[in-house]
Structure 1
Amino acid sequence: MISTILTVIIIFFGLMILFSGIFTVKQQTAAIVERFGKFQRTSNSGLHFKVPIIDKIAGRINLKVQQLDVLVETKTKDDVFVKLKISVQFRVMSNNTYDAFYKLENSHDQITSYVFDVVRAEVPKMKLDDVFERKDDIAIAVERELNEAMQDYGYDIIKTLVTDIDPDVQVKAAMNRINASEREKVAAEYEAEAERIKIVAKARAEAESKRLQGQGIADQRREIARGLEESVDVLNNVGINSQEASALIVVTQHYDTLQSLGEETQSNLILLPNSPQTGSDMLNNMIASFTASNQIGEAMKKENALRESKRKKEKDNKTRNKNPGTELE
């Protein structure tokens, strides 16, 4: 009975020792196997065996692409404090897992230190606006520095990105006010240009309206004159002279005007002389005005002709004084 129990115990412990020598490694993972504290080998994904009790798994390394976000606060060239968020994407090189496991105690702290060093060396050389415009230059500088430093430890820097730039709150408020002012300025310029276009278009429309109105008045007066001329010709043909015909036309127009005013019910009260003598007086006044205008015009023509003759004589005298030999020849 005792021997049977001992046999079972021995078999149980034997199986435990046997199964302790079997281990699995997940995909994109590497296991570091040590023997008595000394590196023995690296086991990749799959089922593996190790010597029980003698060999042990010292650790496992993640071979996937990892990302580390580093928040750095620094000062720009124009003395503005700004926070930059740097995202570093990296992985352990599968053929260099020994260095990644044994040479570096904490990879995240090491990467963070290099990021701080590069950012605080590059950003103080730039103004705040340049930091926004040249963030790719900052990312490239960080990536280059990290690659040079971390390859010795078995790490490959895949990509470095500047994912956020956060200036001080007061600086952001000032930038927003500047941006709003610029936009208001542009809007005011566009509104002024639109108003100018409206004014120019309105002025052109008014000018065209006045031109057409003047042309219409001129055409109207031309037709009235032509009608009066025809009326005078008709009256002359029946033995009425031009002065009598003009008086008749004026009197007729006078009464036609009174009739049109009487037919307009909404017009205000207008008092006009309505005796037949009124037409004759109007005609006499018109003839007197035309006669006076003609006399004034003739006088002005004579005065202009006298001035022109005098100016021409003075010019000829000046020419003779400058060239005295001309008269002798």
Structure 2
Amino acid sequence: MGPFMIALLVFGLIILFSSFFTVKQQTAVVVERFGKFLSIRNSGLQLKVPIIDRIAGRVNFRIQQLDVIIETQTKDNVFVKMKISVQFKVIPEHAYEAFYKLEYPHDQITAYVFDVVRAEVPKLILDDVFARKDDIAIAVKRELNEAMMAYGYDIINTLVTDIDPDIQVKNAMNRINAAEREKTAAMFESEAQRIRIVAKAKAEAESKKLQGQGIADQRREIARGLVESVEVLNEVGINSQEASALIVITQHYDTLQAIGADTNSNLILLPNSPQAASDMLNNMVTSFSASNIIGEQMKKQPKRVKKVDNTSTDFNPSDTSNPTETV
């Protein structure tokens, strides 16, 4: 076999192998013949006419994502940078339009995103931009769907993934948030302090009430014990005055004993002799007697009345002849 035949055989093999090509899954191949569109070939092993047909390009049917960063101004004159993520894909039935009608789909999508965002954001203040970012994303998706459907592209979703205000504005917002949190914390601390004060006051009031009840009960029991002691002493022939003196002396020495039992006490009770207790009792009896005498004398004094002519006279209940006016 001569060199010419070998060359011809090699050329034939090249032509044969170039007639076959494969298309990957979720991909389409555009085949042209002499520069004119011939067909769309889907995934699998495909055949074309060598030299006459050629692969013009491939169309990807998988979902793609384009991140667009745009800087715009809000209604309150704050510049923000926004990151819009657009998820899109080629509609398989419109692979021809996607390949021939739109040469740079990413640039086209970016232009529409810029147009929509710069039309929507200047209508909102900065706080509303954060609160209504979903509305902005919906507006971008609606506008892109209307524009890109004619080119064979389907907009799956649009997301506002980042909103970045100017650094000075961000610092101011952080200070405002910090001040609001400190204000809230101060309000809670004040309320807690008020609750503690009220609770403490109620506890003190309840303590004083119980303490008063305890003192009253104690004095009531002491009085009951004194009465019983006097009655017992009377039964053995000791009169009430002597019994009272004995009780006072006993309590006097009980007090001295209690004071002496406490090693840390600095109290000194003067005087501390039995005669002092007797004198104390005599003074008490004398005081009670004097008080009773004064009370009886005040009851016996005649009442003073005021005459009509502004003169005073003694009032005689048995005399009804003098017209008087009681004060």
TM over 0.5: yes
Q: Does 1:51 align with 2:22?
A: no
Counterpart contact for 2:259–2:267, Cα < 8 Å: no
- The amino acid across from 2:156 in the alignment is I
Equivalent of residue 93 in structure 1, options 91, 94, 110: 91
Residues 186-244 of structure 1: CA distance to partner in whole angstroms, max 9, x if unpaired?
22222222222222222222222222211111111111111111222222233333223
Equivalent of residue 243 in structure 1, options 229, 235, 241: 241
Offset, 1:291:
4.9
- The amino acid across from 1:116 in the alignment is F
Flag the 1:45–1:300 CA change in 2: closer, same or farther, 3 A. Answer: farther
- The amino acid across from 1:248 in the alignment is L
- Comparing 187-196 with 253-262, which one deviates more in the overlay? 253-262
TM-score, normalised relative to structure 2: 0.85
Cα distance in 2 for residues equivalent to 1:296 and 1:92: 120
- Comparing 93-102 with 292-301, which one deviates more in the overlay? 292-301
Q: Which has the higher helix share?
A: 1
Cα distance in 1 for residues equivalent to 2:6 and 2:140: 63
Gaps of 5+ in 2: 305-327
Size of the aligned set, in residue pairs, is 302
Offset, 1:81:
0.9
Q: Which residue of 2 aligns with 1:14?
A: 12
SS at match of 1:33: strand
Equivalent of residue 129 in structure 2, options 122, 128, 131: 131
Cα distance in 2 for residues equivalent to 1:66 and 1:75: 29
Residues 239-284 of structure 1: CA distance to partner in whole angstroms, max 9, x if unpaired?
3332232222212222332233334333226151133331232123
Q: Which residue of 2 aligns with 1:141?
A: 139
| Percentage of identical aligned residues | 75
Q: Which residue of 1 aligns with 2:230?
A: 232
Offset, 1:288:
4.2
Q: Which residue of 2 aligns with 1:36?
A: 34
Cα distance in 2 for residues equivalent to 1:255 and 1:15: 137
Equivalent of residue 200 in structure 1, options 198, 201, 206: 198
| Alignment of structure 1 residues 1-329 onto 2, 5 Å | 4-268=2-266, 270-291=268-289
Residues 104-160 of structure 1: CA distance to partner in whole angstroms, max 9, x if unpaired?
120000000000000000111111111111111111100000000001111111111
Counterpart contact for 2:256–2:269, Cα < 8 Å: no
- The amino acid across from 1:27 in the alignment is Q
TM-score, normalised relative to structure 1: 0.84
Cα distance in 2 for residues equivalent to 1:301 and 1:173: 88
Gaps of 5+ in 1: 307-329
SS at match of 1:58: strand
CA RMSD of aligned residues (A): 2.5
Counterpart contact for 2:28–2:58, Cα < 8 Å: yes
